[in-house]
Structures are given as structure tokens and as C-alpha cells.
Amino acid sequence: MLDVAVQHLPVSPVRKLSEMLERCAEKHKIISFGGGAPSLAPPKEVLDFLCDEFKKEPHAASSYGSTRGMPRVRELIAELLKREERVTIDPEKEICLTEGGTEALFIAFRTLFKPGDQIVLSDPTYLAYYPQLNFLNVGITHVPAYVQEDFQIDLDMLNESIGEKNKAVLLLSPDNPTGRLLEKEIVKGVVELCEDKRLWLITDDIYKDMLYEGKFYNSRVFGGYDYTVTCCSFSKSASMPGFRLGYVYGPAQFIDKVTAIKSYISLCPSRPAQLCVEKYLEKKGKVKKKYLSKIVVPTYKKRRDKMTDMFEKYLPKAEISVPKGAFYFFPDMSRYFKKMDEETFSNKLFEDKKVVVIPGKYFGEQGKDHLRFTFVSEPEDRIEEGFHRMNQFIEENDL
Amino acid sequence: MLDVAVQHLPVSPVRKLSEMLERCAEKHKIISFGGGAPSLAPPKEVLDFLCDEFKKEPHAASSYGSTRGMPRVRELIAELLKREERVTIDPEKEICLTEGGTEALFIAFRTLFKPGDQIVLSDPTYLAYYPQLNFLNVGITHVPAYVQEDFQIDLDMLNESIGEKNKAVLLLSPDNPTGRLLEKEIVKGVVELCEDKRLWLITDDIYKDMLYEGKFYNSRVFGGYDYTVTCCSFSKSASMPGFRLGYVYGPAQFIDKVTAIKSYISLCPSRPAQLCVEKYLEKKGKVKKKYLSKIVVPTYKKRRDKMTDMFEKYLPKAEISVPKGAFYFFPDMSRYFKKMDEETFSNKLFEDKKVVVIPGKYFGEQGKDHLRFTFVSEPEDRIEEGFHRMNQFIEENDL
């Protein structure tokens, strides 16, 4: 084989897991606290609507469209932002639909950064930011967050960390892997800091609808329309990750660039996915409201509460911060890790007990001695079973 | 707004057209020989199967999957290549599914090329290669092809054009915008030339199923497995462009890199799209065979034949090469362009007569004085109507 341009491209452990699980014959024996994929189906109304469209208009429902996405869907998202977050955007010029949140982030990064620029990330944070940013040769400034402080961002520390190469700050709230919901004053503080330091603010709002307590603040409530870029997706909110639909919104000139780049990378967003979202958001978000309030949030809240209890019952030495949103616990497990590090623990736990957790180190320097547990994948009885197996594992290994 | 990293990103005229048409209230008055989108619906069996899956397994049918794509779908594609093209690939290691052919090409280019490398393209060729390659700072070596020679590639000219920065040759057959199907000896010659000069061969096989005469040759029939990369898609073959599903196959190490990059850009391919393709290809491609032979090829062949006649009847001074495959005519219109160039002609034709054609210059230096006409979008009566309007336009403007 001849040489290729790229070398040393790491693949995330969640991606490897995904490949492994897809080939696994005895999936039911595995208890997965691993990948953060919704375990609920999308709203029935949404899939029914799509199938009706396939019957009535099979050609239109399968056809190409504009790179920015269907005008109707962009309008519905703009209405949603107005209604739920008090944010005003122009659906014609300030939004572009994408292949999930991943493409939204990738294109936003590619648009904003030159190689050598730096971005500020809270640490720990979403593991897939790292390879994306490394691939684009964007440096990372880490601002540590601690379980003892419920992983809130320290504004003074953030302020001090910013050097001249920093071009943007990224906020993810609710957060993956910690479930931390940023407090109002902190969001406001970051908006002001970005204004003050002439930085871009990138907000990743993918978990904004996955909220068990507290309130989500869109950063634009505090200003910064000219320097804020938001990436989001329907993968979690509507439980449709396999449909690959996300969006990015921000200043019109920025979105023009995003649209051009999207046209080179993937031409246009999925039409069936857009039709699903049309149904999900129409009539003032009737389907969305009902689905989230009656099904999604109650289901996951019960699992979160169950997992909280299970930590107390089976892993009492884990130091936890109970998540207000998203799908994850990110306990400091150091008291169990005297004999083995978190990667060895995770691998051996899977081998011996068929329980999947993700080693904390993949989420940043501060992830050492932590594990990420998702409560999204398994019902309460299996959460109990998984923690019971972990407890056995700890006893058997005298940890 | 703060500065962004990227500037001067052109958007293809077909993309602009797509945006414009999506907002156009009186679409039916427009006769489009513009964008090359299939005008047929996907096979009914395929959409029915997907809707059954949504009923039976709504969660699984909407969920994430591995970055390379579902193992079952990769196996079906490998079987298809074996059966129809006598090509053997390992579905586990040598293929990665993508968001349409566009992402397949983008990632293949990104994997193979460093900024400053060069690629050899036949000229004219698919207009979207240019912005993709420019965006990646890959230079282009143009090898001209002429209507008088049915746009076949001249092997001597190709050989002479290759300089030390050239790292790959790209073949698109059947071709967009010319409809040219490469002859067997030319495909073989290019494989040998790439071997000889230590170049990558990139083949874009998106139109391989859109064949009205002659035979498509997968270049691997002549060797070159170690240095050949193929991009393809189901957008044209299964009339499902809105589903965004393509694939790239090549040497295992190359596909490893592709998979890593895909995981950064868009995580994983669309699950509903993969389910459609599962149905399309299963049982030795039963649905595919029937759909192409009974519906797609007869429909488009009739339109092609109609358009051939219409050139003779209404545009007798156009110099045409009747396409053997794909969806397009690319006539030399210079005898009509004494007073205005092809862009002015196209714009004015749309304004006055609501007929869409694409100016040839977007397809390369050799596209000057040419126009691209697709015959895929309109039935025969509207093809006649469109040519009639063009004829009027030419007379009214004394061209």
C-alpha cells in the first residue's frame, strides 16, 4: 500500500465498544453502563408520520434538499428556541442542519480554528472532542473541575487559564461525563468573560432536554449573539441517534461558512430525519413536550435515582455528584483503585462480570481514578444486577 | 463578529439551485435539466421493509451503530461486488459506510492527500470535486477530454500530464457531466499507469448501475488492489439520495484511517438508510435487479433517447455525444454562443423561459461553451416542452 497523508488517528473507546457489541452474540448477558445511547424508541407519532410520508410522497421523502436543511424544519427550530429558551435566530441565515451533533461540532471547529489555535475545555469533558480537535491541530487548555464542587466551572481559574492563543471557550451543559448542569451565574460569567477577552463561545446543548432538576440557560439570554455558536442534535432529545440529525446556529456570516463546508463534506442533511423532526416540533412542540415529560424524563430519572441508591448500597466508597441532567455519573473511585488503575479495573470487570463502564482517563486529565457510568441503557433491575456484580468483583479482588 | 479561520468558500451552483428551488412557489412551471437527482422513488419493498422495522424494532431501527456500518450491510456489499463486478473485499476490514458519496470522497481525499499534493482529473468532470479539493489544498492536474472523442481519456496525454506532485488519478465512469463510459482498454491502461508511476487510483463508481449501453469495468478486474480506493453511493442506484448512504472501500490500512476520520466527522452512518440497503441487496440483490431492470433503466433510457431526438429537432447545431450511462448530456453549444457566454445564456434562459441548465464552465476548463443537461428529472413530454422553449429562446434572441 502506498503512503497516506494521515497517521496515528486514535478511535474513541466508545466507538470500539460499539463495533464490539454489534458483533457480540450474547448481548443480553452484558450489562452496559458504557455508551450513552438512548434506550427508548423515538416517539411513535414521529415514526408513523415518516412512514405516512413514505406512502404518500415516496420520492419527495427520499430526495436531496438544500445544504442548510428544509426551510420548514429550520423555522420550527427557530420557533422552539424562541419559545423554550428566549433566543431569537433567523431561520434563513443563522442555522444549518448537520449529520448529528458530531458533524455540527466538527464543522464549527473547522470554521473557527486555524491549526495552532487553542480552545478552553472544562476537564473532564466529552471524550470525542479530543480526537476531533487533535485532528484539526487545535490545542486544548484544560480547566479542571472536581466532583467535590459538583464539577462546576471555576470562573477565576477559567479567567487565569486563558492565553493569547485561546480563541474560544466551549461549554457543555448538562455535561458528559459528569451530568453537571452549569449554574446561571457561571453561564453569565462565561459570556462576559468571552466578551471581555474577545473569544468565541461554543455551546454544546445536546443534553439540554435531559433535565431532572434545575434549569438550563441558553447563554444568549446573557448576550453574546455575535460571538456565540451553538451545536445541538436530536439524537438524545428525540431518541433518534441512528437518524443522524443535528444543527448549528450562530452569526449569519459564520453559518455561511459552515454551509459551504457542509456542502463539501456531506452535501445535505438526511431528508427522512428532517421529516421526523418536522413532526417532533410542529404545533408548538406538542409531540416533543409530551414525549419528554411523560416518557423520557420520568424513565431516566427513575434510573438515575436507582443508580444513586446503588452507589450507596454497593459502592459506598465512591465519591459521587448526583447528576442534574444528561445520562451519567462520574464518581471518583480512587478508594477502590489502590491495586489497579481504572483501565485495568474496567477491562477486568468486563471479562469477569460482563459489566461495561468507561475508564475516566478518556475524558481528560482529571478523569484519572474516575469511571463513567451511564444510567440510560439499563432498566432498574439490571442496574441493581450490574452494581451487585461490581460489588462481588470488588470483594473477589479485595479492592 | 470575530474572525473565522476560513474565507472564500465557494458554494456549487447546483447547491444554490437546490436552495432556490426549495423556496420556489411555482416549481411546476420550471422545467429542470439542472440538478442530477433521481426523479423516481426508491423501491417500494425497501421503504415498506424500513417501516416494518420501525414497527417491530423502533429502538433498534433508530439507534447508533459502529462507525464502519452494520456488519450485515457490509457483507451484502461485499457479496454484491463479488457477484456483479468480480471484486473480492473483506467486509470486516476493507469497507466503511459513509453519509453519501460526498462524505466517501471527502474522507478518501483527506486520508490520501497532504496540502500541496496533486490529483489528476479528466476535464470536464463532476463539479463538486473542485471545491472539495480546493478546501483540502490539493492541486488539480487537468487532462482534457472532448465531445468529438466521446470524452474518452487519452492515455498518452494522461501519462504526459503526470508530474512529481501527483499522488492519484481519479476515474469517474459513467461520468458526470458527460455520460461517458470508459472503455475497457482505457480502464486497464490507467490501472497499469498508476502501478507504473506509484500513484493511487480513486474510482468514483456512483453511476455504475445507470447504464444504457456497454459494460462497466471495476478497475480491480485489472489489478491494483493495493493502490485503489473506490467511492460509491446508493443515492442514484436506489433513488434514495435523501437517505445519505455511501461507502468507500480499499486496502485495510487505508480503511482504518477512513474509519477514524469518519468517527470524528460524523460518528456513524444512518441506521434507517442501512436498513433500506439491507433490503435492497439481500437475496442476491433481488430487489435491486428487478428495480433497475424493470423501472430505472427503462425509464431513464427512454428519456435519454427522447433528449437525443430533441437535440436533433430543436438544437441541431449542438455537438453531442450520446451518453451510455449516468444522467447527462454535455453538448458543445459554441455555435449558439456567439453573442453570449454559457452563463449568460443559462441565466437568461431561466428568466425568460423557466428552463434550468447548468453552465459548462463549472465542470472544468474544457466546459467553456458547453451546457449540462440532465434527462433524469423530467418525463418525455416535459423534455420536449423544455427543448421547444429553448428553441424559441434561441430564435427570439437570434442566436
DSSP assignment of A1-23:
----S-------HHHHHHHHHHT
Q: Which option is the CATH number for A44-284: 3.40.50.970, 3.40.640.10, 2.30.30.90, 3.10.20.30?
A: 3.40.640.10
Q: Does A28 touch chain B (CB under 8 A)?
A: no
* CA–CA distance, B281 with B291 (Å, rounded to integer): 11
Q: Does B10 touch chain A (CB under 8 A)?
A: yes
For A23-40, the pLDDT digits (tens) are 666 777 899 999 889 999
Q: Under a CB-based contact definition with an 8 Å cutoff, are residues A342 and A370 in contact?
A: yes
| CATH match of A13-42+289-396 with 3.30.450.20 | no
Query: Binning pLDDT at 50, 70 and 90, where does residue B27 land?
Result: confident
Q: Does A312 touch chain B (CB under 8 A)?
A: no
Q: Is the pLDDT of residue A17 over 80?
A: no
* CA–CA distance, B266 with A103 (Å, rounded to integer): 5
Q: CB distance B198–A2 less than 8 Å?
A: yes
C-alpha cell read off for B265: 466527522
Q: Under a CB-based contact definition with an 8 Å cutoff, are residues A155 and A192 in contact?
A: no
Helices (H), chain B: 13-22, 44-56, 71-85, 100-112, 129-135, 155-161, 184-197, 252-265, 271-290, 297-314, 342-353, 380-396
Q: Under a CB-based contact definition with an 8 Å cutoff, are residues B76 and B282 in contact?
A: yes
Amino acid at B170: L
- Distances in whole angstroms, Cα of residue A384 to Cα of each of A322, A380, B1, B253, B271: 17, 6, 51, 42, 31
* CA–CA distance, B289 with B210 (Å, rounded to integer): 12
* CA–CA distance, B56 with B276 (Å, rounded to integer): 15
| Closest chain B residue to the Cα of A98, Cα to Cα | B266
C-alpha cell read off for B145: 477530454
Q: Does A24 touch chain B (CB under 8 A)?
A: no
Alpha carbon A225 to chain centroid, angstroms: 22
For B93-102, the pLDDT digits (tens) are 999 999 999 9
Question: What mean pLDDT is reported for chain A?
Answer: 96
Q: Is the pLDDT of residue B17 over 80?
A: no
For B342-382, the pLDDT digits (tens) are 999 999 999 999 999 999 999 999 999 999 999 999 999 99
Q: What is the per-residue pLDDT for A192?
A: 98
Q: Is A326 helix (H, G, I), strand (E, B) or coil?
A: coil
Q: Is B363 helix (H, G, I), strand (E, B) or coil?
A: helix
Q: What is the DSSP letter of B370?
A: B
For A250-301, the pLDDT digits (tens) are 999 999 999 999 999 999 999 999 999 999 999 999 999 999 999 999 999 9
Q: Under a CB-based contact definition with an 8 Å cutoff, are residues A68 and A260 in contact?
A: no
Q: What is the per-residue pLDDT for A60?
A: 96
Q: Does B67 touch chain A (CB under 8 A)?
A: yes
Q: What is the per-residue pLDDT for B20?
A: 72
* CA–CA distance, A358 with A372 (Å, rounded to integer): 5
Q: Under a CB-based contact definition with an 8 Å cutoff, are residues B211 and B181 in contact?
A: yes
DSSP-assigned states of every residue in A115-138: TT-EEEEEES--TTHHHHHHHTT-
Looking at beta carbons, which residues of chain B come within 8 Å of A239? 59, 62
Q: Is the pLDDT of residue B18 over 80?
A: no
* CA–CA distance, B86 with B79 (Å, rounded to integer): 10
Q: Is A306 helix (H, G, I), strand (E, B) or coil?
A: helix
Closest CA to A358 of A107, A226, A176: A176
Q: Is the pLDDT of residue B19 over 90?
A: no
* CA–CA distance, A78 with B195 (Å, rounded to integer): 54
Q: What is the DSSP letter of A180?
A: P
- ipTM of the prediction greater than 0.90, yes or no: yes
Amino acid at B172: L
Looking at beta carbons, which residues of chain B come within 8 Å of A241? 62-64
C-alpha cell read off for B174: 459513467
Within chain B, all domains assigned CATH 3.90.1150.10 are found at 13-42+289-396
Report phi then psi at A198, rounded to 5. 55, 55
Looking at beta carbons, which residues of chain A come within 8 Å of B117? 5
Gyration radius from chain A CA atoms: 21
Q: CB distance B12–A263 less than 8 Å?
A: yes
* CA–CA distance, A237 with A374 (Å, rounded to integer): 16
Q: Please tell me which of the candidates A2, A243, A268 has its beta carbon nearest to residue B272.
A: A243
SS (HEC) of B51-66: HHHHHHCCCHHHCCCC
Sign of the torsion formed by the C-alpha atoms of A197, A200, A205 and A208: positive
Q: What is the per-residue pLDDT for A23?
A: 67
Looking at beta carbons, which residues of chain A come within 8 Å of B239? 59, 62
* CA–CA distance, B49 with A264 (Å, rounded to integer): 31
* CA–CA distance, B262 with B247 (Å, rounded to integer): 11
| Closest chain B residue to the Cα of A57, Cα to Cα | B41
Sign of the torsion formed by the C-alpha atoms of B66, B71, B76 and B79: positive
Query: What pTM did the predictor assign?
Result: 0.96
Within chain B, all domains assigned CATH 3.40.640.10 are found at 44-285
Q: Which of A20-34, A137-151, B1-15, B46-60 has the lowest mean pLDDT?
A: A20-34
Q: Which of residues 203-262 of A touch B (CB under 8 A)?
A: 226-227, 235, 239-244, 251, 253-254, 256-257, 259-261
Q: Is the pLDDT of residue B80 over 80?
A: yes
Q: What is the per-residue pLDDT for A110?
A: 98
Sign of the torsion formed by the C-alpha atoms of B121, B123, B129 and B134: positive
CB-based contacts of A247, cutoff 8 Å, min separation 6 = A69, A77, A95, A96, A97, A98, A104, A231, A232, A233
Q: What is the per-residue pLDDT for B299?
A: 97
Alpha carbon B309 to chain centroid, angstroms: 25
Q: Is the pLDDT of residue A210 over 70?
A: yes
Q: Please tell me which of the candidates B64, B110, B241 has its beta carbon nearest to residue A241.
A: B64
Helices (H), chain A: 13-22, 44-56, 71-85, 100-112, 129-135, 155-161, 184-197, 252-265, 271-290, 297-314, 342-353, 380-396
Q: Is the pLDDT of residue B25 over 70?
A: no
Looking at beta carbons, which residues of chain A come within 8 Å of B1? 226-227, 251, 253-254
Residue where the block lists cell 431561520: A91
Q: What is the per-residue pLDDT for B23?
A: 67
Q: Is the pLDDT of residue A366 over 90?
A: yes
Residue where the block lists cell 468529438: B148
What is the longest distance spanned by two Cα atoms in chain B?
63
Q: Under a CB-based contact definition with an 8 Å cutoff, are residues A242 and B61 in contact?
A: yes
Q: What is the per-residue pLDDT for B376?
A: 95
Output the CATH code of domain B44-285.
Answer: 3.40.640.10
* CA–CA distance, B62 with A50 (Å, rounded to integer): 12
| Closest chain A residue to the Cα of B136, Cα to Cα | A264
CB-based contacts of A75, cutoff 8 Å, min separation 6 = A91
Question: What mean pLDDT is reported for chain B?
Answer: 96
Q: Is the pLDDT of residue B244 over 90?
A: yes
How many residues are recorded in chain A?
399
Residue where the block lists cell 477514524: B260
